[in-house]
């Protein structure tokens, strides 16, 4: 019996206890986990994630877009500068063309007009000038005080200085202009010496400029223009 227990105890001592097995298994598991965790950072660093690849691609696209925008702005600036220079060159060419045309015009003498054409041109200019005076007289308001003094003076001085052969049919004054219509049937035009005698001896009318319209025979129209400092 003693041998049997002894054999039994020897048999029990050779069998592993369950607690020891659990400890061994737990140690193996911990070692596996630690080894996996220690290797995971390097493995993750070596293999990029899909998110990091997408971010790198978007960043590259953004850089390309910014580069294209910068190139577009630079190209636009170059185009503006080119257009400005082209405009300046066009203006310079136009100025040179105008200068050459002026030089050509100075070099080519004007051809004299024939007497008939020159007379027609003179008549046209005179008609335009006196028509403007007529319109001015009609548009202006009447200065009653000034016209009340000037109209009688014109009516008196013209026959006295030009002679009895000249009579006055009408005298009108506005505010800066007077018109006197004269008749002289004995003369187609008033003789130059009679008109000069009047212009040199006009008393109070001496400050006024005179324009004479003698285009019609037997009649003359005088325009008296008031001095600017008298208005």
pLDDT score recorded for residue 49: 54
Does residue 39 sit within a domain?
no
Tell me which of 103 and 195 has the higher pLDDT. 195
* Res. 183: pLDDT tops 50: yes
Coil vs helix vs strand at 162? helix
Does residue 76 sit within a domain?
yes
Residues 129, 224, single domain; the answer is yes
Tell me which of 97 and 168 has the higher pLDDT. 168
Does residue 48 sit within a domain?
no
Residues 86, 132, single domain; the answer is no
Does residue 15 sit within a domain?
no
Residues 85, 152, single domain; the answer is no
pTM for the structure as a whole: 0.51
CA distance 157 to 114: 41
**How many structural domains does the chain have?**
2
Residues 82, 149, single domain; the answer is no
Does residue 25 sit within a domain?
no
Does residue 16 sit within a domain?
no
Mean pLDDT of 181-186: 96
Mean pLDDT of 198-203: 89
Does residue 199 sit within a domain?
yes
What are the pLDDT digits (tens) for 24-56? 554 555 444 445 444 444 444 444 455 577 777
Residues 83, 150, single domain; the answer is no
* Res. 228: pLDDT tops 60: yes
What are the strands, taking DSSP E only, across the chain? Answer: 167-173, 177-183, 209-213, 219-225
Tell me which of 141 and 32 has the higher pLDDT. 141
In this prediction, residue 15 has a pLDDT band, given cuts at 50, 70 and 90, of very low
Residues 189, 159, single domain; the answer is yes
* Res. 13: pLDDT tops 70: no
Does residue 180 sit within a domain?
yes
pLDDT score recorded for residue 169: 95
Residues 130, 96, single domain; the answer is no
Domain of 94 in residue numbering reads as: 53-104
Residues 136, 88, single domain; the answer is no
How many CB atoms within 10 Å of residue 219? 17
CATH of the domain at 188: 3.30.980.10
Residues 95, 183, single domain; the answer is no
pLDDT score recorded for residue 101: 72
pLDDT score recorded for residue 85: 72
Query: Could you give the count of Cα atoms lying within 13 Å of 16 in the half-sphere of its Cβ?
Result: 8
224: β partners? 178, 210
Residues 138, 216, single domain; the answer is yes
Closest of 157, 145, 152, 165 to residue 197, by C-alpha? 157
């Amino acid at each position: 019996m003693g041998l049997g227990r002894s054999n039994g105890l020897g048999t029990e001592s050779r069998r592993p206890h369950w607690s020891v097995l659990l400890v061994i298994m737990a140690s193996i598991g911990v070692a596996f986990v630690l080894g996996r965790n220690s290797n995971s950072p390097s493995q993750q660093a070596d293999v990029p994630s899909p998110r990091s690849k997408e971010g790198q691609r978007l960043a590259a696209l953004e850089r390309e877009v910014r580069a294209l925008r910068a190139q577009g702005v630079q190209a636009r600036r170059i185009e503006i500068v080119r257009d400005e220079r082209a405009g300046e060159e066009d203006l310079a060419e136009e100025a040179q063309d105008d200068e050459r045309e002026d030089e050509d015009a100075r070099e080519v003498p004007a051809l004299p007009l024939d007497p008939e054409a020159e007379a027609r041109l003179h008549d046209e200019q005179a008609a335009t000038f006196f028509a403007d005076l007529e319109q001015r007289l009609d548009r202006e308001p009447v200065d009653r005080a000034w016209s009340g003094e000037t109209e009688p003076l014109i009516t008196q001085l013209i026959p006295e200085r030009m002679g009895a052969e000249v009579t006055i049919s009408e005298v009108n004054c506005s505010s800066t202009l007077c018109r006197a219509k004269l008749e002289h049937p004995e003369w187609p035009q008033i003789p130059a010496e009679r008109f000069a005698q009047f212009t040199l001896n006009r008393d109070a009318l001496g400050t006024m400029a005179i324009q004479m319209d003698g285009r019609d025979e037997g009649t003359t129209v005088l325009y008296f223009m008031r001095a600017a400092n008298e208005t």
